[in-house]
Structure 1
Amino acid sequence: MSAATDATLLPTPPRDLLDSASLLLDFDGTLVDLADRPDDVTVDAALAELLTALARQMGGRIAIISGRSIAQLDTLLGPVAQMIALSGSHGCEHRWHGISAHPVRPDSLLDVAAEMRAASAGQAGVIIEEKSFGVALHFRLAPEFETRALLLAERLGAEHELAVQHGKMMVELRVAGSDKGIAVARLMKRPEMQGTTPLFIGDDVTDESAFVAARAAGGHGILVGPPRATAADYGLPDPAAVRAWLNGGGA
């Protein structure tokens, strides 16, 4: 694997990149702008229409791979969520054509959430987000809490045997044993996607494993956002550019 040191060195993806490809999409920071609070994110009509059109055009070769749970994605996406494959909780859970697979939720996540709340009590701006198979601690509105948050996550992860997942101004403890790269490999085994090349679009460090997996399978990664080291081959500046590219480059 090679890594670009500056996203400005990455070329814009060509318009025909989706030909004979399977489209694998991150959600937050890729299809929608990041929000200070996860609950503030909404899916507008234009995005729902775009995803619906892509689902029809690509014949089962489209999926969303997100750190959000499938339950969260269902709420945000509405009816189009039933038209595409979903891999939620960083690849821990999957659904396609009504068939779902997921691990057992460990009881330890309740203890983790309680300890995070206790540790951040009185700290304005810290948000604890409980998910189906993880607990995220967001400090975007309290950047001064970052060091404490990261140390807390490392301790709780070790104590409860949970994976520590770093992201943009957040850290999450989740069920171990999966990541977005594993989700890419799993999705590419589906009959609709076999024999195609994976194209993964994402913005966060949590998406790097998916870029690596896509490249290993002969495909490509598209990094969304500002410059950083990445395993992606192409770059787009923001979610608006992703939507514009998908509107013009749909297969």
Structure 2
Amino acid sequence: MESESTLAAEPPLIEDDWALFLDVDGSLAEHAPTPDAVRIDPAIKQALPALSRKCGGALALVSGRSVEALDALFDPVHIAAVAGLHGLERRWHAGWNPAPAMDAGFLALAAEAEAIAARFPGALIECRGGCLFLHWRAAPDAAPELGAFAESARTRLPRHRLHPGAHGIEIRPVGMDKGAAIAAFMQAPPFQGRRPAFIGDDPADEPGFAQVNALDGVSVLIGAARTSAARHRLANPGAVRRWLLDSLHDEVLA
């Protein structure tokens, strides 16, 4: 992983031959105490169709949220290409790849996590498509118990991995991450043959940075400088919004 000292002040403006991949929480929008409280700036909703046209349709959201949740968050704007649950489910021009079904054992594990979270007002458990998300941004006192639960789940879910974040842990199946999702998009039109660019803000985005770097793309860390594979940085989602709008120049927003 490249040192944070290699991060440039900001990325170049978006070019017409790019394929643009956008993380949502912490990148396009500021974090909130709960996922349901996150809001997308109306100016960005308006700009995304124009950015997609600029890139020949090669624009995709790449998020830990489900596709259904992303559609609700960006409504009434429809984003054609979306990787949800870190790529476990994908909707794109080539079709639809659903997330795997959850078996009874996995659902029972989720119920155990819910019981722990219930003791800490503000803690949140999400169970979607074979992924278990343990959130404690709004209940930091839950971190030790939910963290210990996640460690114990490691032995019960041998085909899953733990992905710690700043305010939670994600438990998701081995073999899929944001880098793999981007690689899948890049194999088909309208992404194929373009220069990929990816913005992201947390450790779950590092595989995406590595993937676009391998394709001589543009990797952009959002937030404070830290050790990262990203080669560029923007300070916060507000800076992301300015960068996206500046990249449109005189494009018509509609």
Q: Could you state the TM-score of these two structures normalised by the residue count of structure 2? A: 0.90
Q: Does 1:147 align with 2:144?
A: yes
**d(CA) in 2 for partners of 1:109 and 1:43?**
32
**1:70-219 superposed matches below 5 A:** 70-81=67-78, 83-97=79-93, 99-107=95-103, 108-161=105-158, 162-219=160-217
Q: Does 1:221 align with 2:219?
A: yes
The amino acid across from 2:31 in the alignment is: L
Structure 1 residues 165, 105: CA separation in 2 closer, same or farther (over 3 Å shift)? Answer: farther
Tell me the alpha carbon deviations over residues 83-130 of structure 1, each in whole angstroms, 9 at most, x when there is no partner: 431011011111014821124222233112201022233222211123
Cα drift, residue 6 of structure 1: 4.9
- Secondary structure in 1 matching 2:25: coil
**d(CA) in 2 for partners of 1:96 and 1:5?**
33
Q: Does 1:36 align with 2:33?
A: yes
Assess if the C-alpha contact under 8 Å between 2:198 and 2:208 holds in 1. Answer: yes
**d(CA) in 2 for partners of 1:42 and 1:87?**
19
Any gaps of 5 or more consecutive residues in structure 2? 250-254
The amino acid across from 1:29 in the alignment is: G
Assess if the C-alpha contact under 8 Å between 1:4 and 1:10 holds in 2. Answer: no
Assess if the C-alpha contact under 8 Å between 2:29 and 2:41 holds in 1. Answer: no
Tell me the alpha carbon deviations over residues 136-167 of structure 1, each in whole angstroms, 9 at most, x when there is no partner: 11111222322322221121132023222222
**d(CA) in 2 for partners of 1:139 and 1:99?**
35
Runs (4+) of structure 1 exceeding 3 A deviation are none
Assess if the C-alpha contact under 8 Å between 1:11 and 1:234 holds in 2. Answer: yes
Assess if the C-alpha contact under 8 Å between 2:102 and 2:129 holds in 1. Answer: no
Assess if the C-alpha contact under 8 Å between 1:55 and 1:84 holds in 2. Answer: no
Assess if the C-alpha contact under 8 Å between 1:18 and 1:250 holds in 2. Answer: no
Assess if the C-alpha contact under 8 Å between 1:18 and 1:199 holds in 2. Answer: no
- Secondary structure in 1 matching 2:156: helix
Assess if the C-alpha contact under 8 Å between 2:220 and 2:234 holds in 1. Answer: yes
The amino acid across from 2:92 in the alignment is: W
Cα drift, residue 33 of structure 1: 0.4
Specify the alignment match of 2:62 in structure 1. Answer: 65
Overall identity of the aligned pairs, in %: 38
Tell me the alpha carbon deviations over residues 13-35 of structure 1, each in whole angstroms, 9 at most, x when there is no partner: 122x4341110110100000001
Structure 1 residues 109, 42: CA separation in 2 closer, same or farther (over 3 Å shift)? Answer: farther
**d(CA) in 1 for partners of 2:226 and 2:144?**
21
The amino acid across from 2:56 in the alignment is: G
Range moving further from structure 2, 231-240 or 37-46: 37-46
CA RMSD, 1 decimal: 1.9
Range moving further from structure 2, 50-59 or 27-36: 50-59
Range moving further from structure 2, 183-192 or 142-151: 142-151
Cα drift, residue 58 of structure 1: 1.8
Specify the alignment match of 1:249 in structure 2. Answer: 247
The amino acid across from 1:3 in the alignment is: E
Structure 1 residues 242, 114: CA separation in 2 closer, same or farther (over 3 Å shift)? Answer: same
Q: Could you state the TM-score of these two structures normalised by the residue count of structure 1? A: 0.91
**d(CA) in 2 for partners of 1:156 and 1:18?**
44
Cα drift, residue 176 of structure 1: 2.7
